[in-house]
């Protein structure tokens, strides 16, 4: 069975500061891992995906994530936060069934 834990339901950073959103997973098979972003009143948009091809994954809008098998994690980072990054971020894991198991989400607040 797969599961996802996102540490911190709310994260607040200043504009220009580093963004770090944490995601830990549990999976009995080699996982596919995803980060999605949801802007207010919109659907979820794929930010990046990890498929075991490389441990460092680059996504859209300068986000990236590093897969650490020993820590069962795929934390999301961005070097410099923009006001437009304020949104809810979801981590998800997929095994081999096609279903995605989502975390509870982390709301990112960016302060001017």
Residues near other proteins, by CB under 8 A: 32, 34, 36, 42-46, 49, 51, 90, 94, 98-100, 102, 104-105
Of residues 67, 29, 70, 69, the one with CA closest to residue 48: 67
Nearer to other proteins among residue 58 and residue 80 (C-beta): 58
- Give the CA distances from residue 24 to residues 17, 54, 70, in Å, rounded to whole numbers and listed in that order: 23, 18, 11
Least distance CB 86 / other proteins (angstroms): 17
How is residue 60 written in tokens?
């859209």
Nearer residue to other proteins within complex by CB, 81 or 100: 100
């Amino acid at each position: 069975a797969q599961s996802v834990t996102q540490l911190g339901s709310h994260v607040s950073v200043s504009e220009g500061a580093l963004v770090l959103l944490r995601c830990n997973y549990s999976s009995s098979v080699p996982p596919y891992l995803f980060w999605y972003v949801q802007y207010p009143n919109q659907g979820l948009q794929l930010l990046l995906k990890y498929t075991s091809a490389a441990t460092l994954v680059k996504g859209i809008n300068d986000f990236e994530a590093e897969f650490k098998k020993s820590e069962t994690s795929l934390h999301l980072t961005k070097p410099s936060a923009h006001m437009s990054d304020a949104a809810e971020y979801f981590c998800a894991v997929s095994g081999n069934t096609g279903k995605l198991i989502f975390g509870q989400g982390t709301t990112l607040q960016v302060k001017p």
